[in-house]
């Protein structure tokens, strides 16, 4: 189990770094969007490529951020129900959900997306819009994003099983200090 926990930490680290990098894509998307709107309305210059770059960036944020979201246990849940359950019961629900829903669906989408990416790349598929961009770079985000999500699902499965065996504390508990409390501590410690 220790070897699996080491693998889980590596996966967590990988998705943490990718998730942190994805934050920057939000800034890039905002800058591209603002630049596109400014050039369109102030300078009367327009290009579909800039609009498509915005879509590509949104796709990257969504697809590359999904594993990061799962890692931080911030995905959609029915907390009204699960919040009343014991940590062990929630862990069992997560094990069941990961094994029978998350991993099969994610791996199936990963498997189905490869032929589409390969076809797009081999045909040098371009957008049908005038001035549009090549399509395979955005399409390859689909298998990459779902592969990262599958890895994180595997990591979460390892952690839930380790918790159920009593080897680690509850991985769903928030162990971080909220930013507001951290700032308040800093303010109190200043002379």
Tell me which of 41-55, 93-107, 152-166 is least confident. Answer: 41-55
pTM over the 0.75 mark: yes
Report helix angle 48-71 to 2-42, nearest 10.
Answer: 150
Read off the pLDDT of each residue in 10-23 and give the average, rounded to a whole number. 94
Q: How far apart are CA 161 and CA 5, in angstroms?
A: 10
- Per the listing, tokens 């998350």 go with 102
What is the residue extent of each domain of the chain? 2-172
In tens, the pLDDT along 93-110 reads 999 999 999 999 999 999
Q: How far apart are CA 90 and CA 115, in angstroms?
A: 37
Residue 172 and residue 73 in contact, taking contact as beta carbons nearer than 8 Å: yes
What is the pLDDT confidence band of residue 179, given thresholds at 50, 70 and 90? low
What is the pLDDT confidence band of residue 40, given thresholds at 50, 70 and 90? confident
Query: From the centroid of its chain, how far is CA 122?
Result: 28
Q: Which strand (E) or helix (H) includes residue 2?
A: helix 2-42
Q: How far apart are CA 123 and CA 126, in angstroms?
A: 9
pLDDT given for residue 136 in this prediction: 92
Q: How far apart are CA 157 and CA 99, in angstroms?
A: 8
């Amino acid at each position: 189990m220790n070897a699996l926990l080491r693998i889980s930490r590596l996966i967590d680290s990988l998705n943490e770094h990718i998730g942190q990098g994805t934050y920057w894509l939000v800034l890039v998307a905002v800058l591209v969007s603002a630049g596109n709107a400014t050039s369109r309305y102030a300078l009367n210059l327009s290009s579909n490529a800039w609009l498509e770059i915005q879509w590509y960036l949104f796709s990257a944020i969504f697809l590359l951020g999904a594993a990061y979201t799962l890692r931080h246990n911030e995905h959609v849940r029915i907390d009204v129900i699960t919040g009343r359950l014991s940590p062990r019961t929630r862990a069992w629900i997560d094990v069941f959900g990961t094994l029978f829903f998350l991993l099969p669906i994610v791996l199936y989408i990963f498997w189905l997306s490869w032929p589409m990416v390969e076809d797009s790349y081999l045909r040098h598929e371009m957008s049908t819009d005038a001035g549009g961009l090549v399509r395979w770079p955005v399409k390859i985000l689909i298998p990459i994003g779902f592969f990262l999500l599958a890895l994180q699902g595997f990591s979460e499965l390892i952690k839930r099983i380790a918790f159920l065996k009593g080897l680690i504390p509850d991985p769903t508990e928030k162990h971080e200090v909220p930013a507001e409390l951290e700032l308040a501590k800093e303010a109190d410690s200043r002379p």
